[in-house]
């Protein structure tokens, strides 16, 4: 049974609205912790002089804040830094229930959608459906490398056994879910592009093959590895890790 949480209104307060918001957020924090003692929280001083109350666990975040003259707070829910949905409410007992599931239990988006249908779940579903879709596109692009390795021209100019082994190890490490693969003649390109083909300035890595070696060009770091063995080495993995942190564009 959750402890009773009473709404706290600005109308009961006087003076500076910024100080009032800090006071109300502190009271909300106390109320939430009366029901969820172990939840991690912190009041942040925001750009522009306002305040927001953050509840966080790993990549799951809920930010509670007041907007302009509104006397009811908003709760914005994030995953991996991406805003999934927000809601304005005065029912802090209900907020505590959502926080318990989202922050403490790390419930999946589908579970949140099922348990709290009054939230703007369309935004939730659209975001994750889109996220899964781009992951599938990335993985399918890596399947094309097999056809690339079977091209007679490639087999004559490159040790495709080494290439296939390198690609296999990259996929085992999960980079086929994070990066798009593309091929041209004797080159393999990796990027974070949503669409086939690269635009000028997009971060990418190109592998140009010649026999048992390859030249590697990481255009987002100006790194060049010349006559590097066709192998998934620590140097190659460092470049892939950096590329995987770039924004999908």
pLDDT value at 124 more than 60: no
Which of 89, 119, 149 delimits the end of a domain?
119
Same domain, yes or no: 72 and 18: yes
Take residue 207 and report the two structure tokens written for it: 């592998």
Same domain, yes or no: 159 and 105: no
Same domain, yes or no: 18 and 99: yes
Same domain, yes or no: 151 and 208: yes
Residue 222 lies in a domain: yes
Instruction: State which residues form the domain around 197.
Output: 137-244
Lookup result for tokens 């907007």 = 67
Which of 86, 119, 152 delimits the end of a domain?
119
Query: Could you tell me the CA-to-CA distances from 209 to 125, 153, 155, 170, 204 in Å, in that order?
Result: 42, 12, 11, 17, 16
- CA dist 25 and 31 (Å) reads 10
Same domain, yes or no: 15 and 114: yes
Same domain, yes or no: 97 and 143: no
pTM of the predicted model as reported, rounded to 2 decimal places: 0.50
Residue 16 pLDDT: 55
Residue 124 lies in a domain: no
Which of 119, 153, 186 delimits the end of a domain?
119
- Among residues 103, 95, 105, 97, the alpha carbon closest in space to that of 78 is found at 103
**Phi-psi map region of 98: left, alpha, beta (phi>0 left; psi -120 to 50 alpha):** alpha
Residue 232 lies in a domain: yes
Please answer whether residues 103 and 43 qualify as being in contact, where contact means their C-beta atoms are separated by less than 8 angstroms: no
pLDDT value at 104 more than 60: yes
In the Cβ-directed half-sphere of 198, how many Cα atoms lie within 13 Å? 19
Average pLDDT of 138-149? 85
In the Cβ-directed half-sphere of 25, how many Cα atoms lie within 13 Å? 25
User: What share of the chain in percent tops pLDDT 90?
Assistant: 41
Residue 126 lies in a domain: no
Same domain, yes or no: 97 and 193: no
Residue 249 lies in a domain: no
Residue 19 pLDDT: 62
Same domain, yes or no: 76 and 147: no
pLDDT range class, residue 125, cuts 50, 70, 90: low
Average pLDDT of 169-181? 93
Helical axes 121-149 vs 160-172, angle rounded to 10°:
160
Same domain, yes or no: 69 and 98: yes
Same domain, yes or no: 38 and 96: yes
pLDDT range class, residue 62, cuts 50, 70, 90: very high
pLDDT, one tens digit per residue, over 16-58 is 555 678 888 999 999 999 999 999 999 988 765 678 999 999 8
Strand partners, 181: 190
Residue 62 lies in a domain: yes
Enclosing H/E stretch for 119: none
- CA dist 142 and 148 (Å) reads 10
Lookup result for tokens 């924004």 = 247
- CA dist 134 and 177 (Å) reads 9
Residue 132 pLDDT: 64
Q: CA 90, 95, 97, 100: dihedral to nearest 10 degrees?
A: -160
Q: How many domains does the chain have?
A: 2
Take residue 17 and report the two structure tokens written for it: 């609205």
């Amino acid at each position: 049974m959750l402890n009773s949480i009473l709404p706290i209104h600005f109308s009961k307060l006087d003076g500076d609205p910024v100080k009032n918001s800090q006071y109300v957020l502190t009271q909300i924090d106390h109320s939430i912790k009366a029901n969820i003692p172990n939840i991690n929280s912190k009041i942040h001083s925001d750009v522009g002089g306002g305040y927001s109350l953050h509840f966080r666990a790993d990549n799951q975040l809920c930010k509670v804040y007041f907007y302009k003259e509104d006397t009811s707070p908003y709760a914005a829910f994030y995953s991996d830094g991406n805003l999934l949905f927000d809601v304005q409410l005065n029912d802090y007992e209900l907020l505590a229930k959502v926080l318990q599931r989202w922050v403490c239990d790390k419930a999946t988006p589908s579970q949140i959608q099922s348990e709290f249908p009054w939230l703007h779940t369309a935004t939730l579903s659209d975001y994750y459906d889109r996220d899964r879709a781009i992951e599938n596109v990335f993985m399918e692009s890596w399947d094309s490398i097999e056809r690339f390795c079977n091209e007679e021209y490639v087999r004559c100019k490159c040790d495709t056994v080494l290439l296939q082994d390198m690609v296999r190890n990259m996929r085992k490490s999960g980079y086929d879910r994070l990066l798009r693969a593309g091929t041209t003649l004797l080159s393999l390109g990796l990027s974070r592009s949503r669409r086939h083909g690269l635009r000028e300035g997009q971060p990418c890595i190109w592998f140009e093959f010649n026999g048992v070696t390859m030249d590697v060009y990481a255009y987002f770091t100006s790194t060049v590895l010349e006559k590097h063995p066709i192998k998934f080495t620590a140097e190659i993995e460092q470049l892939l890790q950096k590329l995987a942190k770039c924004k999908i564009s």
